[in-house]
A and B are shown apart, each in its own frame.
Chain A
Amino acid sequence: DARVTQTPRHKVTEMGQEVTMRCQPILGHNTVFWYRQTMMQGLELLAYFRNRAPLDDSGMPKDRFSAEMPDATLATLKIQPSEPRDSAVYFCASGYRAGEKLFFGSGTQLSVL
């Protein structure tokens, strides 16, 4: 079965360090999302790409977060510098077409100390 692959699964880092999360969407999918999940806020949209073009990053703190799709097989989410409040599970999801069901990766559990 085709799967969305996220790395790393777990990341523990110190405040101020750079964190890079990677996602390999399912081949042929043209939409990619980054979501952050916390107990307090639930699932929050951070970034949305369609055909590799960023369409929405309004939910992302621009001063420290950045999201890119350098090619169709790789999406990245970077946090620099990281802060303890960034501790969360970060999910990447891809979809075949806009508006259709999403396939989620296993998530990156990030802990910033």
Chain B
Amino acid sequence: AQKITQTQPGMFVQEKEAVTLDCTYDTSDPSYGLFWYKQPSSGEMIFLIYQGSYDQQNATEGRYSLNFQKARKSANLVISASQLGDSAMYFCAMREGGGSYIPTFGRGTSLIVHP
């Protein structure tokens, strides 16, 4: 079974608008961490934001916020005030707490920001 599901292969957004990228996860481990990474056309994966399963508040990092809904097992990334430089692939990842801490990645969502 897929541990991380990103259902949107591609998304389009107008510059300066907000956009939400979906991510659902599957785990029975009470301790886990959720990550979002950005992969621009240059290829290098860049860490954006992290949410721990016990964190009470939704994580925020500048224009990025993570909408964490634990009961629904969703960890959507919200990008506010989109910029042309936000055009990239976005990957959701989860690591479980059971000792190995190996991150598993979703298939990614391609985001294109239109001027």
Contacts and interface: CB of A to CB of B under 8 A. Distances in A.
Contacts, number: 46
Interface in B97-113: 97, 100-108
A56 B100 contact: yes
Interface stretch (B14-22, B39-47, B64-72, B74-82): B39-47
Contacts of B106: 42
Contacts of A42: 105-108
Nearest to A31: B101
A88 B43 CA distance: 12
Contacts of B33: 99
A48 B35 CA distance: 18
A101 B102 contact: no
B47 A101 contact: yes
B100 A48 contact: yes
A104 B97 CA distance: 21
Contacts of A35: 105
Interface in A35-93: 35, 42-43, 45, 48, 55-56, 89, 91, 93
A105 B95 contact: no
B90 interface: no
List of 4 A-B pairs having minimum Cβ-Cβ separation, nearest first: A99-B101, A104-B45, A98-B101, A43-B105
Given A48-B100, A55-B100, 4 more contacts: A31-B101, A98-B101, A99-B101, A101-B47
Interface of A: 31, 33, 35, 42-43, 45, 48, 55-56, 89, 91, 93, 98-99, 101-107, 109
Interface of B: 33, 35, 37, 42-47, 50, 91, 95, 97, 100-108
18 contacts: A31-B101, A42-B106, A42-B107, A43-B91, A89-B43, A91-B45, A99-B95, A99-B101, A101-B35, A101-B47, A101-B50, A102-B47, A102-B103, A103-B47, A104-B44, A104-B45, A106-B42, A107-B43
